[in-house]
Amino acid sequence: NGMKVFIGSGTTALMVAKCLEGHKDLTIVTNSIGAAALYFGHANAKIRVLGGAMRTDYQATYGHTTVSALNEHHFDIAILGASDVHEEYGFMSYEEEEVALHKLADAHAGRTIVVADSSKFGLISAVRSFDIAEVDVIVTGGHVERKFIELFEKNRQEFIQA
C-alpha cells in the first residue's frame, strides 16, 4: 500500500500485476499495455504508461522515449520479468531494448524483484540483464533445480516459490 511500483512487460510480470490489484494508493509506472489495462477503472491506483515505440509482439513500449520517461522516476519496487535464468550468465532477455529498460528500472528502485516461470531456469537467451547477485528477490512457480536455490541462498537473496 502507498508504493510506487515499476512493472515491466511479459506474461509473468503481468501475473504479478494482477496480484497487486487489491492494494491501495499504488502508483504504477509501466511500459506494458497489458499491465496498464488491468487498472482501468481502479480508484486505488494511479497509472503512468511510458511512451515510446510500441512493440506489438510484446504489447509494450520501448526505445529512447521510453527510457527517457523512465529516467524521471524513482520506485519503491521494480518488478521485472526474465526470458531465461542461467546460473553463470544470470537473468536474460531476447532484446537489448528490454535490457536497457530493466537496468534503468533497477537503478531507480529501492528493491528489484525478478519474476520468471520455473521453465526458464537453466536456459540462455541472447542478452544478459543482470548477474544473479544483482537483484533482491526472485519469484517463480513450480520446481527449480537445487543449484539455483543454493545460489540464491549464498547471495542472501529472497527466493519465493509461489
The secondary structure of 53-107, three-state, reads EEECCCCEEECHHHHHHHCCCCEEEEEEECCEEECCCEEEECCHHHHHHHHHHHH
pLDDT tens digit sequence for 97-145: 999 999 999 999 999 999 999 999 999 999 999 999 999 999 999 999 9
Grid cell of 149 as nine digits: 536455490
pLDDT tens digit sequence for 44-101: 899 999 999 999 988 999 999 999 999 999 999 999 999 999 999 999 999 999 999 9
Residue 1 reports pLDDT greater than 90: no
Q: Pairing between strand 84-86 and 90-93?
A: antiparallel
pTM given for the model: 0.95
